[in-house]
Structures are given as structure tokens and as C-alpha cells.
């Protein structure tokens, strides 16, 4: 099988950053990603997440509860400061129901963050498929 010359081909995906400050979602996502040998870092706050985003970040997963009464400034500044060619995948895990849909609509997250929104719950049985699509991109 031919080898890819050094410097060519897709770069290794960087770590997944996780912001899930309540419940066991961060732990569940870590387990799912660990099974796929994807490195991850749990961030306790939006500010910590904004500070952790770097040029090597592979994907960001945020649960919608993190946006309740949150200041999005550090996160939106970091996203806006990305190079024009960059398109950091942001996955927001939402609860079902009208309150969660209303929160996402009020914050206008797709426009502000340019993210992809999936529903919850996160399950240990393979709900990491959005990560598979990101990891293969």
C-alpha cells in the first residue's frame, strides 16, 4: 500500500472540548470518545471553554444548559478570531421540549456560533455518531 508523503493528507484531529456542567453528560461523552481513541478535555465554564479553544481543537460539544444565563462573549470572540479558512465544528446537545427549543431560538445559536445542533440524551450505546462524522471529515 502506498504511503502518504509527510506534510500531505488530512491532519490528525485535535482534542474534543466538552462543556457539560451538570449531570453526567461530560463523563458519558468522555467514555464514548475514549472508546474511539479521541482525546478530550472537559471545561467547567463557558469562559474556560473559550480559553481552551485553540488551533488544534478538533470539535466542541456543549450542552444547552450551559447557555442559561451565560455570557457568550469569550466564546463568540474566540470563534470570530478563527482564521477565515477555519470552521471549528460546534455541537450543541439539546434537551427535548419547548423550553429547550425556545432557549436555542432566543440565543440564535446557529447564527452566533455557526454550530450543528443535535438532540439528547447522550447515550453510551453509540450516540457518538455525530463525532464519527466530524472525525472522518
Domains and CATH numbers, the chain: 16-136 (3.40.50.2300)
Cell of 47: 469562559
Answer yes or no: is pLDDT of 2 > 80. no
Does the pTM of the predicted model rise above 0.85?
no
pLDDT over 90 percentage in the chain = 11
pLDDT digits (tens, 9 = 90+) for 82-135: 877 777 888 888 877 788 778 777 887 777 777 666 666 655 555 445 555 455
Average pLDDT on 10-26 reads: 82
Mean residue pLDDT of the chain comes to 77
The DSSP code sequence of 61-98 is EEEGGGGTT---HHHHHHHHTS-TT----EEEEE-SSH
Amino acid at each position: 500500500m502506498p504511503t502518504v508523503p509527510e506534510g500531505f493528507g488530512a491532519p490528525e484531529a485535535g482534542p474534543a472540548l466538552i462543556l457539560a456542567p451538570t449531570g453526567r453528560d461530560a463523563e458519558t461523552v468522555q467514555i464514548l470518545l475514549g472508546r474511539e481513541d479521541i482525546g478530550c478535555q472537559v471545561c467547567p465554564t463557558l469562559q474556560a471553554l473559550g480559553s481552551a479553544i485553540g488551533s488544534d481543537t478538533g470539535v466542541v460539544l456543549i450542552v444547552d444548559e450551559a447557555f442559561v444565563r451565560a455570557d457568550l462573549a469569550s466564546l463568540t470572540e474566540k470563534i470570530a478570531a478563527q482564521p477565515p479558512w477555519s470552521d471549528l465544528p460546534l455541537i450543541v446537545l439539546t434537551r427535548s421540549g419547548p423550553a429547550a427549543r425556545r432557549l436555542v431560538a432566543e440565543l440564535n445559536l446557529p447564527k452566533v456560533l455557526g454550530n450543528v445542533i443535535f438532540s439528547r440524551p447522550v447515550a453510551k450505546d453509540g450516540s457518538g455518531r455525530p463525532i464519527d462524522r466530524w472525525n472522518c471529515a
